[in-house]
Amino acid sequence: MTRLLNGISWVGLAVVGLAVSACGKTDTKPEATTDQKPATPAKADDSTRFKGQTLNLLTWEGYADPKFTKGFEEKYGVTVKGTYFGSSDELVAKLKSSPGVYDVVSPSSDVAYSLVQGGLIEPIDTSKISSFNDLAKEIRDMDDAKKGDKLYGIPFTWGPDYLIYDANVVKEEPKSWKVFYDPQYKGKVSLWDDISNIYLVGQIMGLDKDKPEALYNMTEEQLAEAKKKLVELKPQVRKYWATAGELNDLFKNKEVVLAVGWPLTVGTLNKEGMNLKGVVPEEGATGWIDRLMIPSSSKNKELATLYLDYVTQPKAQALVMDATGGYCVANSKASEHLAEDYKKSPCVTEAANYFKRLNFWRYAKDRKRYNEVWNEIKSAQ
């Protein structure tokens, strides 16, 4: 996600940042990845036959960072160019309107399914992904990236949409999302400008206790109730944030003390001396998984497959975590190459617990209706 622009969802691997909050990065950096080997023996001319080509990525901001793309560029003599999007809906629109432009996309788990089922994505030959079996099984095998017996996407990063609070002001750890409605925090709450707030209220309503998918298939009556609760919350909300930088500023300027956010914010601001903490409330939290997929219209599918192989290997994944400020990554072996502080991240130490507690975004059949409801909430007086 990133959610670097917007600001960032089970087990096996990785690394987040509830705890990144408490740890500043050390000077120890993951090593460059130019010595990594592809899953299958490289063809003799792999290092030269792609020379001069450009691999175009359509990604969340931060997912084309030179920290982890440079080694790939040097290995194959190519250029990796990133085009960023700010929301899942924007990704879908850009991909559909520009066939043949993009070679790799990074959809989140809420729209990956529709891209696959819509024929916009190429199946992945997993025998060419050397670290495939090291990627967290719980997110690797989800249905959103499958069609028939074929796999169309592999997990890249993941993380929680958890509750962030300023521990210097909120002295007791919030146990419930209902803290957002506490009168003492009127005007001190910030929500992401996204339909995921409807999922959040669905959790407060307990809709997903027995059926996790219920959050993404709410009835009209349930949507109306969620709308009512989110409109009631509006006086508490200082601002709906659109980017991670915007949320950072809201906390730094003491404009808010509670928010929905990602580990990126906690990790970034605590390095600057703040005392933010992240928590998964008793109702649970949603989470996201960002996948790597190859569009059917890509003109560089071979190079794109080599890229997927490269950036899912342990050293590259460690660099991804470093570049994104602490996003969980899909390859658990990345921890062997992480700076010491990142090894303490809950992504590493509590990944199994997260995978159990997070309700990861799923395909919402009537996503259009969710967007309509969210816009109605924002415009309500």
Lowest mean pLDDT among 152-161, 174-183, 265-274: 265-274
CA–CA dist 53, 51 (Å, integer): 6
pLDDT at 361: 93
What does pLDDT average to over the chain?
Answer: 88
Lowest mean pLDDT among 220-229, 263-272, 326-335: 263-272
Task: Give pLDDT tens digits for 351-380.
Answer: 888 888 999 999 998 999 999 999 999 999
pLDDT at 14: 38
Classify 228 in phi/psi space as left (phi over 0), alpha (psi -120 to 50) or beta.
alpha
Query: Is it the case that residue 8 has pLDDT exceeding 60?
Result: no
Task: Give pLDDT tens digits for 100-158.
Answer: 999 999 999 989 999 999 999 999 999 999 999 999 998 998 888 999 999 999 999 99
On the 0-12 / 13-18 / 19+ scale of CB atoms within 10 A, 296 is middle
Task: Give pLDDT tens digits for 81-107.
Answer: 999 987 888 999 999 999 999 999 999
CA–CA dist 215, 220 (Å, integer): 12
Which pTM value belongs to this model? Answer: 0.81
Query: Is it the case that residue 7 has pLDDT exceeding 50?
Result: no
3-state helix, strand, coil in the chain (%, to 5): 40, 20, 40
Query: Is it the case that residue 15 has pLDDT exceeding 50?
Result: no
Decide: 14 and 351 in contact? Cβ < 8 Å.
yes
Q: Which position has the token pair 């969980």?
A: 328
Query: Is it the case that residue 208 has pLDDT exceeding 80?
Result: yes
pLDDT at 11: 32
**Residues of the chain with pLDDT > 90: what percent?**
72
Query: Is it the case that residue 25 has pLDDT exceeding 80?
Result: no
Q: Is the dihedral of CA 369, 371, 376, 377 positive or negative?
A: positive
CA–CA dist 226, 203 (Å, integer): 10
Mean pLDDT of 4-23: 35
Task: Give pLDDT tens digits for 287-320.
Answer: 999 999 999 999 999 999 999 999 999 999 999 9
Task: Give pLDDT tens digits for 71-80.
Answer: 999 999 999 9
